Structure 1
């Protein structure tokens, strides 16, 4: 069982295929301009649907556990970025400058939603608190990610004005999310009956954005400027960051007296990073010429977190005092 979890899932294979397609046949000219508009529309639709899927009772069930929520927010937007920035003397020599900017960007991103909830459910942790923590992290990331990046990156990192970025991110991601959530009473049932369509929109939107980002990067010479040693260094950097945060969240949760179920929610919501938010946000925050290199660390970290957290969730689930699995609306797909 654990061995199968170490293999790439289908969505990861689609991502790899998309990168290869963009490398061989990058979008250029009029097609690239049309693709840019299509990606914006697809991402807005994606966040509209995610807002419609978000259950308000689940939010209220978890929001009362303020100590847990504060721990996840502090880990995601303070501890993680602090490590990425403080370890610069160790991390920077292992990768190229653009990849290191991507590592800093990775550290400042919000937590993933569906994967974190699925891991917490698999590990028999506090699922309502995880739903609240992961959802709140996504919404806070609209404001906190640009701010954190502006504090950690230099002016030559190809990042625009952070306040302007917050406005553009809010318009493209937050507004559709809120509108979708407000329309949930009327469309939630329809969406539940169209799970296959939801999956296609979900994964298709990310693949479209990845293709657009890597097309720009390939045209500007991404692969000719990226040595194999930098890719090996990137794997080491992502492994180090993930290991440090997993250890510290587990240790900190126990030191602060959290129950085991709460510790599980903190570990998985605090250590994971969102591909579904990170890829579109990179197109807003960074110039098209570097966006492909910026999201590459996120894609590597994404697969690494899925493999490691799946094994860790199984270890948590086998503990002697584990309660019966809670029935939730979270899908077990470990995509994001």
Structure 2
């Protein structure tokens, strides 16, 4: 495959050449621009790429597109689809950052050569592992609920005399104490769950709790974490999560498990920052943040 001056190569992931899917495996797979996906192989490694129009994927176009939430979500889902398809073959995959593009195959091979030691070490470290994401939400029950209006059998009671300033402050302090105590119990329960899951994982990553629109209607996000787990330990890990989830309502929290995914949260650090990607735009995955496009050095 040779990219022309009107095309660039969009790169999805790096894997071992020996474990990379062949042409038959990729025949029906399409990428962010509906393009066919193939592998550029060099020095025992392979990068999954697809030809995309330069007009839509050069640096200026990408900077504009990444400000478009609809475009970002669509691209992130397509990016994810390619990585999921390769991961499903059992290959160890290092996802690349969303919107990583190169001028041509020469640029891709240069990246593989320049980062060969880092990428090889990351593949060795992560081989046989997958990532599970965990979010813990706290409902924030009675301590946040407004006081109910007192009633009698004949209907609402008559309004009571206004509280004195001292009584008002006392009630405010009591409500605040109740809320803080409830939050303390929720946080303590989340720490216990994280400790139990950490014991079953090779590595863990903690992300800042999500707030606002990213948190959704699920209540306060108490924990936002990723766990690197060996494939053969997946059933043990998910069984532990199921047991913890059964106990979670007693602590006023709810567990949300996602995965298994390619090891996004762990590939970037192992590969010196090259193998990272956006999952914030893809629902159900831990947010890592997308930032600006990471373009290949050969792209003008």
TM-score using structure 1 length: 0.23
Higher strand content, 1 or 2: 2
TM-score using structure 2 length: 0.25
Q: Which has the higher contact order (CA 8 A, sep 6+)?
A: 1
Higher helix content, 1 or 2: 1
